[in-house]
Amino acid sequence: MAVDRSLIGSPAAYAADESLSRREHELWTSQRARREVAWQVAERVLLLVAMSAVLNVVLALIRTVRMLRDACLSAGDRAEVVAALNRQIGLALEAYRATRPPPEDLAKLEAVAGAPPDQLPTPLPTARP
C-alpha cells in the first residue's frame, strides 16, 4: 500500500523557473549547464528550508522570553527586567522582519509575541517600605 503525499501535508509553494524552456538545447548538450541549473534549484529550495528553520528558532526564543517576562510580571517589582525582556522580544521581531519573511510567517511570529513592543505589558509599580 502506497502512502499518499497528502498524508504529510501539502507541498510548499514553489515557483517554476520558466526560463529553462528557452535553454532546452543548452541543457541537453551541456553537463555544465545542467549542473549549474541543479545547484540553482538546490539553493532556492534550501533557502526555503533555512527560512523555515529560522522561524522556528525565533518562535522558540520569543516563547521563552515571554515565559520569563510573565514570571517577572507575576512576581511584581521587576520593572527593569520586564522592560529589558520586552526590548528583546522587539529586537527579535525586528531582526526577523529584516529577512523579509512571507506575511503568514510574520503574522505567526507577531501572534506569539503578543503585542507590538511598545504595547507589551509592564508591571505595576509597587510601593517600597
The predicted-structure confidence for 95-118, as pLDDT tens digits, reads as follows 888 888 888 888 888 888 886 555
Pairwise CA distance, residues 122 & 22, whole Å = 59
Q: Which domain holds residue 100?
A: 53-119
> What is the average per-residue pLDDT within 6-21?
70
Helices (H) and strands (E) in the chain, counts: 4, 0
Number of compact structural domains in the chain:
1
Residue 36 in domain: no
Residue 62 in domain: yes
Over the stretch 25-50, which tens digit does the pLDDT of each residue have?
Answer: 998 999 899 888 888 887 777 676 66
Longest Cα–Cα distance in the chain: 85
Q: What is the pLDDT of residue 29?
A: 92
Tell the residue number behind the cell numbers 518562535, with chain if given.
Answer: 59
65, amino acid identity = V
Residue 85 in domain: yes
Contact yes or no for 19/37 (Cβ under 8 A): no
Judged against a pLDDT cut of 60, whether residue 128 lies above it is answered with no
Residue 111 in domain: yes
Over the stretch 59-100, which tens digit does the pLDDT of each residue have?
Answer: 889 899 988 888 888 888 788 888 888 888 888 888 888 888
Pairwise CA distance, residues 19 & 97, whole Å = 30
What pTM value is reported for the model?
0.55
- Position with higher pLDDT, 122 vs 53: 53
